[in-house]
């Protein structure tokens, strides 16, 4: 209790920012950034980044005086790697190196709490230190999709049982935990993903001239200053998500053909993302009458700039948890059309369109409703930004995590 700060170590096998870092890695980075302060020190343990990182000393990068990242001498396994041998090898090395790093940190600056994130690969070092040094750990669920059934049983039989707190980023996951063991729900809390909402966002609510200037600097063909862009950002790595993109391109094709507005030829669909089912999407587009108004952009690092020039974004997937892409769209003041999966309804609320999964007619009706009502467009743009800033701003989410850390810390020393 004599320390000036609480020391929390967060463990995630992937890295952010880097070309493979996303999901839990991105969440871990911003959660640490916004929950650290003079009283709460955050140390993230992560795999070695593929991209070079500046100001790296002894494999440690200081993000702020109260937040640093310790990189292990091990590259994260690639998302496309399906080999059981490769998975097992990475699992063993990651845990071994993490345990060594935890001993170093604990010797230098006594660890008070360990925070681990799914996948369950990060759990063993935390459980070990709980029994060796009575260090409590918090476990965050990011989804319910398991590559191996062992992951499910590891969470249910071991991780949940010994965790001091369980965090779920969606209410769906919280309900799942309640069904597994009603006792675990007493130590479970839902804390959503967040999004940065800078006060000086220069890409927010651009006029037509500003949009034209921005798009002219992007690595794309010049467009007319009155062109309207619909944006669909999604990896084509999972079949159910790719099928959702295919649903929309088919609806978009019908909408262009049926829309009587003179603007219909100015409407373009940009699809950002790539993955193993990309060819399936390409094949679906080739058979469309208006395929020249659809463009596959592949992987992009400048996605926020595309949101800045978009009129509307879409996510008509068949499976989602808590899709961050909706937050990224809404913080840019871009309304969304999305299917009612995961926590989509909780994110969008009354600031966009929520349609049943696979309901192409409902998707098309949403397009007509939006593009034929200028007043509605302005209303939804403002609502989208205001909603995400109020409910999902990382500054607010960080404060919730700070309270959880302090509560867990006090509980440890009250026993």
Compute the average pLDDT of residues 207-215. Answer: 67
| Cα(411)–Cα(415) distance, integer angstroms | 7
Q: What pLDDT was estimated at residue 112?
A: 97
Give the range among 47-56, 99-108, 236-245, 372-381 with minimum mean pLDDT.
47-56
Contacts 24+ apart (CB under 8 A), 369-378: 370/312, 370/335, 370/337, 371/228, 371/259, 371/261, 371/263, 371/267, 371/311, 371/312, 372/261, 377/311, 377/335
Write the secondary structure of the chain as one string of H (helix), E (strand) and C (coil).
CCCCCEEEEEECCCCCCCCCCCCHHHHHHHHHHHHCECCEEEEEEEEECCCCCCCCECCEEEEECCEEEEEEEEECCCCCCCCHHHHHHHHHHHHHHHHHHHHHHHHHCCCCEEEEECCHHHHHHHHHHHHHHCCCEEEEECCCCCCCHHHHHHHHHHHHHHCCEEEECCHHHHHHHHHHCCCHHHHEEECCCCECCCCCCCCCCCCHHHHHHHHHHCCCCCCCCCCEEEEEECCCCCHHHHHHHHHHHHHHHHHHHHCCCHHHHHEEEEEECCCCCHHHHHHHHHCCCCHHHEEEEECCCCHHHHHHHCCEEEECCCCCCCCHHHHHHHCCCCCEEEECCCCHHHHHCCCCEEECCCCHHHHHHHHHHHHCCHHHHHHHHHHHHHHHHHHCEHHHHHHHHHHHHHHHHHHHHHC
Superfamily for domain range 208-391: Glycogen Phosphorylase B; (3.40.50.2000)
CATH topology of domain 6-194+393-414: Rossmann fold (3.40.50)
Compute the average pLDDT of residues 161-180. Answer: 86
Confidence band, pLDDT 50/70/90 cuts, at residue 48: confident
| Cα(366)–Cα(240) distance, integer angstroms | 21
Confidence band, pLDDT 50/70/90 cuts, at residue 211: low
Compute the average pLDDT of residues 217-243. Answer: 79
Per-residue pLDDT at 212 exceeds 90: no
Q: What pLDDT was estimated at residue 304?
A: 87
Confidence band, pLDDT 50/70/90 cuts, at residue 339: very high
Compute the average pLDDT of residues 161-189. Answer: 86
Compute the average pLDDT of residues 273-286. Answer: 94
| Cα(228)–Cα(374) distance, integer angstroms | 13
Per-residue pLDDT at 162 exceeds 70: yes
**What are the beta bridge partners of residue 270?**
231, 295
Q: What pLDDT was estimated at residue 21?
A: 46
Domain ranges of the chain: 6-194+393-414, 208-391
Instruction: Render pLDDT for 115-125 as a digit per residue (tens, 0 to 9).
Output: 998 877 789 99
Block residue for tokens 């675990």: 184
Give the range among 66-80, 149-163, 174-188 with minimum mean pLDDT.
149-163
Compute the average pLDDT of residues 310-314. Answer: 95
The chain-wide mean pLDDT, for the chain, equals 87
Domains 6-194+393-414 and 208-391 share a fold: yes
pTM for the full predicted model: 0.83
Q: What pLDDT was estimated at residue 20?
A: 46
Per-residue pLDDT at 225 exceeds 80: no
Confidence band, pLDDT 50/70/90 cuts, at residue 248: very high
Question: Between β-strands 137-141 and 113-117, what pairing exists: parallel, antiparallel or unpaired?
Answer: parallel
Q: What pLDDT was estimated at residue 1?
A: 47
Edge to edge, what strands does the sheet with 165-168 contain? 60-64, 67-75, 40-48, 6-11, 113-117, 137-141, 165-168, 188-190
**What are the beta bridge partners of residue 257?**
none
């Amino acid at each position: 209790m004599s320390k000036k700060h609480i020391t929390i170590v967060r463990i995630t096998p992937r890295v952010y920012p880097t070309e493979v870092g996303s999901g839990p890695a991105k969440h871990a980075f911003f959660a640490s950034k916004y929950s650290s302060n003079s009283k709460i020190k955050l140390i993230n343990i992560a795999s070695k980044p593929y991209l070079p990182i500046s100001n790296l000393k002894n494999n440690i990068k200081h993000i702020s005086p109260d937040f640093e990242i310790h990189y292990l001498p091990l590259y994260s396994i690639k998302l496309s790697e399906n080999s059981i041998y490769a998975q097992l090898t990475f699992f063993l090395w990651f845990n071994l190196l993490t345990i060594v790093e935890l001993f170093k940190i604990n010797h230098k600056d006594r660890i008070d709490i360990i925070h681990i994130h799914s996948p369950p690969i990060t759990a063993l070092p935390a459980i070990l230190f709980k029994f060796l040094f009575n260090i409590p750990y918090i476990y965050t669920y990011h989804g319910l999709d398991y590559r191996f059934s062992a992951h499910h049983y590891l969470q249910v039989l071991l991780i949940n049982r010994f965790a001091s707190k369980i965090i779920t980023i969606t209410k769906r996951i919280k309900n799942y935990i309640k069904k597994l063991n009603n006792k675990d729900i007493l130590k479970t809390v839902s804390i959503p993903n967040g999004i940065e909402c800078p006060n000086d966002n220069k890409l927010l609510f651009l006029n037509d001239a500003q949009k034209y200037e921005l798009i002219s600097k992007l690595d794309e063909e010049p467009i007319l200053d009155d062109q309207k862009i619909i944006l669909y950002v999604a990896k084509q790595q999972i079949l159910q998500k790719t099928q959702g993109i295919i649903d929309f391109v088919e609806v978009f094709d019908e909408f262009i053909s049926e829309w009587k507005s003179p603007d219909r030829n100015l409407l373009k669909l940009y699809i950002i993302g790539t993955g193993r089912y990309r060819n399936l999407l390409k094949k679906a587009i080739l058979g469309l009458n208006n395929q020249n108004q659809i463009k596959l952009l592949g992987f992009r690092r400048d996605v926020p700039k595309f949101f800045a020039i978009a009129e509307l974004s879409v996510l008509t997937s068949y499976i989602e948890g808590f899709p961050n892409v909706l937050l990224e769209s809404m913080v840019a003041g871009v309304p969304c059309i999305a299917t009612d999966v995961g926590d989509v309804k909780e994110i969008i609320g009354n600031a966009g369109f929520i349609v049943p999964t696979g309901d192409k007619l409902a998707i098309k009706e949403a397009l007509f409703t939006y593009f034929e009502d200028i007043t509605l467009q302005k209303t939804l743009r403002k609502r989208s930004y205001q909603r995400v800033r109020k409910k999902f701003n990382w500054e607010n989410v960080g404060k919730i995590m700070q309270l959880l850390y302090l509560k867990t810390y006090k509980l440890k020393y009250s026993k």
